[in-house]
Amino acid sequence: MQKIISVDKDNLEAIAIGGAVLGSGGGGDPYVGRLMTNQILEKAEPVKVIEVESLNDDELILPIAMMGAPTVMMEKFPSGNEFTQLVSMMEKLMQKKVSAILCIEAGGLNSTIPFVAAAKLGLPIVDGDAMGRAFPELQMVSFTLGGITATPMAMIDDKGNGATFDTISNQWTEKLARALTIQMGGSAMVSLYPVTAKDCKKYLIKNSLSLIHYIGNVVKEHSFNAYQILAKELHGKHLFQARVRDVERTAGEGFTRGVVKLEGIGDFIGRSAKLDFQNEFLIAMEGETVLATTPDLICLFDANTGEPVTTEAMKYGLAVNVLGLPCDPIWRSKEAIDLVGPKYFKYDVEYKPL
């Protein structure tokens, strides 16, 4: 896998596609982020992608993301003006200038939105993230495992309302920020987990932007066969091939939740499966048999185009391939499974790695 060193309009498409794959159905529609970033990159220099080791230990790295229900994000685009205000708020709270931007998750909209902030502010972006995929809740980051706090945190809505948080735990950050996100219309722009280069090195999932770029190029090059290439290259497993028989989807409490029912086709004809999601796909089951669960990734690909399919794009009759990909090894510890495993989401099953 070749490391990416800068991002312009030409290679942003691969990052958007690859981010949608690692988003495991969630993280928001990357198409929105791609449109915003393309608009900015027409007038700005390409965004430099750097390794965290290139920064001095005391330099400040700032994650930027959108928080809320992906279905809401589809209709409630950020204006782009939020980034300057967000960064200014965080620099005042930290009493320090920002040296680089970071993707908090490697998925969907939040793998492209940080490039808008980086391009607007003329800052580099770190080749890494704190999930290696997308998870639905703020505390579900590798930084939590390292005792790194989510606050101070800043939040801005599309109207210009701003708020900051100073909480006693990352779980409380999730609860309070989620409640405010609902009042802000279901989605908001946030900056949280401000870290120095020294503090984040041990718990950063490194080179994830390069991985996203690679995955995106595989999808572009191999189209409907891409899932087979990715299964082999990323040590994944083809779990199911099916048509979508039914989708139950609700947006509430700041999340998009639902169930996708699948009817097997091809080698899986006569079989059925279902996928549950809370922004991201959490569990895949065939009858009583568990095919895959969080923190491993459950990724859907359009069987005709090879493009990744997000939870909000699921519709009746769509033919899909379901791929399971192993999570980053940092999520395999007992502490990590307690934070992001199936039992946290009220599934009475033990996590078994793919």
Backbone phi, psi, residue 189, to 5°: -90, 135
- DSSP string for residues in 67-106: EE-HHHHTTS---STHHHHHHHHHHHHHTS-EEEEEESSS
> Do the domain assignments include residue 350?
no
> Do the domain assignments include residue 204?
yes
Q: What share of the chain is helix, strand, coil (3-state, %, to 5)?
A: 35, 30, 35
239-265 pLDDT tens trace = 999 999 999 999 888 888 999 999 999
Task: Write down the residue that tokens 């027409």 correspond to.
Answer: 42
Out of 152, 175, 208, a domain closes at 208
Where residue 313 sits, what CATH number does that domain have? Answer: 2.40.390.10
> Do the domain assignments include residue 351?
no
Backbone phi, psi, residue 83, to 5°: -65, -45
The amino acid at 71: T
What Rg value do the Cα atoms of the chain yield, rounded?
19
Where residue 136 sits, what CATH number does that domain have? Answer: 3.40.1610.10
Q: Which helix (H) or strand (E) holds 263?
A: strand 255-264
169-226 pLDDT tens trace = 999 999 999 999 999 988 899 999 999 999 999 999 999 999 999 999 999 999 999 9
260-315 pLDDT tens trace = 999 999 999 999 999 999 999 999 999 999 999 999 999 999 999 999 999 988 99
State the residue range of the domain holding 150. Answer: 6-208
Q: Do 52 and 19 lie in a common domain?
A: yes
Query: Whole-model pTM?
Result: 0.94
Q: Do 144 and 61 lie in a common domain?
A: yes
> Do the domain assignments include residue 295?
yes
- Name the average pLDDT for the chain: 93
Q: What is the mean pLDDT of residues 73-97?
A: 84
Q: Is 166 exposed, middle or buried (0-12, 13-18, 19+ CB in 10 A)?
A: exposed
Q: Looking at the 3D structure of the chain, how many domains does it have?
A: 2
How far apart, in whole angstroms, are the C-alpha atoms of residue 137 and residue 155?
15
Q: Do 117 and 249 lie in a common domain?
A: no
- DSSP string for residues in 116-128: HHHHHHT--EESE
Q: Is 295 exposed, middle or buried (0-12, 13-18, 19+ CB in 10 A)?
A: buried
Q: Which helix (H) or strand (E) holds 339?
A: helix 334-340
Q: Do 31 and 128 lie in a common domain?
A: yes
* Contact indicator for 292, 315 with CB cutoff of 8 Å: no
> Do the domain assignments include residue 17?
yes
Q: Do 124 and 268 lie in a common domain?
A: no
Q: Do 29 and 177 lie in a common domain?
A: yes
Q: How far is CA 302 from the centre of its chain?
A: 19
Q: Do 188 and 48 lie in a common domain?
A: yes
Out of 183, 208, 233, a domain closes at 208
How far apart, in whole angstroms, are the C-alpha atoms of residue 181 and residue 346?
23
Task: Write down the residue that tokens 């928001």 correspond to.
Answer: 28
How far apart, in whole angstroms, are the C-alpha atoms of residue 79 and residue 352?
42
> Do the domain assignments include residue 219?
no
313-324 pLDDT tens trace = 899 999 999 999
Q: Do 197 and 270 lie in a common domain?
A: no
How far apart, in whole angstroms, are the C-alpha atoms of residue 239 and residue 298?
9
Out of 156, 179, 208, a domain closes at 208
